[in-house]
Amino acid sequence: MSAALVELSDVGFRYPGPAPARRFGLSGLSFSIGAGEILGVIGPNSAGKTTLIRLLTRVLDPTDGRVLVEGVALSEWPRWRLAQRIAVVPQELPPAMPFTVEELVLMGRYPHAPRRFFETSADRAVARESMEATGVLPLAAQPLGALSGGERQRAVLARALAQRPRLLVLDEPTAHLDLRYQAECVGLLRRLNRDEGLTIVLVSHDLNLAAEVSDRLLLLAGGRAVRVGAPAEVLDEALLASVYGCAVVVDENVATGRPVVHVVYPEPLPKGGGNTEVRS
Amino acid sequence: MTAEARLARVLIALGLGLTAVVAAALFVGSAGLTPGAVIEVLAGRATADSTERVVVLSLRLPRIAVAAIAGGALAVAGVGFQALTRNPLAEPSVIGVSSGAAFGVVVAQLTGGGAGLGDTFRLVAFGLAGALVAGITVYLVATTQAGFPVPTLLLSGVIVGVFFSAAITVITSLVDINRLGGIIHWLLGNIGPVAPASLLVFAVLAAIGVLLILLRARELNVLALGEESAVQLGVDAERLKRQIFFGAALLTAAVVAFTGPIGFVGLIVPHVLRMLLGSDNRFLVPAAFVGGAIFLLGADTLARNIVAPAELSVGVITSFCGAPFFVYLLRTRYRGGLP
Side-chain half-sphere exposure of B150, counting CA atoms within 13 A: 14
Mean per-residue pLDDT for A231-236? 94
ipTM above 0.95, yes or no: no
Mean per-residue pLDDT for A167-195? 87
Q: Counting beta carbons within 10 angstroms of the beta carbon of residue B132, is it exposed (0 to 12), middle (13 to 18) or buried (19 or more)?
A: buried
pLDDT per position as a tens digit, A121-137: 999 999 999 999 988 99
Mean per-residue pLDDT for A55-81? 94
Q: Tell me, what's the pLDDT at A278?
A: 46
Mean per-residue pLDDT for A106-124? 95
A104 Cβ neighbours under 8 A, 6+ residues apart: A93, A97, A144, A155, A156, A158, A159
Residue B339 has pLDDT above 60, yes or no: no
Mean per-residue pLDDT for B62-73? 96
Mean per-residue pLDDT for A63-78? 94
Nearest 10 degrees: Cα torsion B151, B157, B163, B164: -170
What order do you get walking across the sheet with A86-89 strand by strand? A86-89, A167-171, A199-203, A38-42, A216-221, A224-229
Please indicate whether, in this complex, the C-beta atoms of A96 and B282 are within 8 angstroms of each other: no
Q: Find the helix or strand (DSSP H, E) in which B66 lies.
A: helix B61-85
Residue B148 has pLDDT above 70, yes or no: no
Is-contact B260 B315, C-beta < 8 A? yes
The CA distance from B155 to A150, in Å, is: 36
Q: Name the residue of chain B whose CA is nearest to A92's CA.
A: B225
Nearest to A214 by CA among A237, A230, A234, A194: A230
Q: Tell me, what's the pLDDT at B178?
A: 72
Provide φ and ψ at B24, rounded to 5°: -60, -40
Q: Please count the other Cβ atoms lying within 10 Å of the Cβ belonging to residue A267.
A: 9
The CA distance from B288 to B177, in Å, is: 39
Residue of B86, B233, B279 lying closest to A99 (CB–CB): B279
Residue B177 has pLDDT above 90, yes or no: no
Provide φ and ψ at A40, rounded to 5°: -95, 135
Q: Tell me, what's the pLDDT at B336?
A: 44
Mean per-residue pLDDT for B164-180? 83
pLDDT per position as a tens digit, B247-293: 999 999 899 988 988 989 999 999 999 999 999 999 999 999 999 99
Mean per-residue pLDDT for A182-192? 88
B105 Cβ neighbours under 8 A, 6+ residues apart: B123, B126, B127, B130, B253, B256, B257
Give A-chain residues touching B282 at CB under 8 angstroms: 117-118
The CA distance from A141 to A100, in Å, is: 6
Please indicate whether, in this complex, the C-beta atoms of A98 and B218 are within 8 angstroms of each other: no
Q: How close is the nearest chain A Cα to the Cα of B325, in Å?
A: 20
How many helices (H) and strands (E) are present in chain A, helices listed first? 10, 12
Give A-chain residues touching B226 at CB under 8 angstroms: 90, 94
Q: What is the DSSP letter of B55?
A: I
Please indicate whether, in this complex, the C-beta atoms of A83 and B2 are within 8 angstroms of each other: no
Residue of A78, A88, A110 lying closest to B222 (CB–CB): A110
pLDDT per position as a tens digit, B5-22: 999 999 999 999 999 999
Residue of A59, A107, A117 lying closest to B231 (CB–CB): A59
Mean per-residue pLDDT for A101-127? 96
Nearest to A161 by CA among A121, A128, A187: A128
Mean per-residue pLDDT for A10-19? 83
Nearest to A26 by CA among A59, A49, A7: A49
Query: How much of chain B is helix, strand and coil, in % rounded to 5?
Result: 75, 0, 25
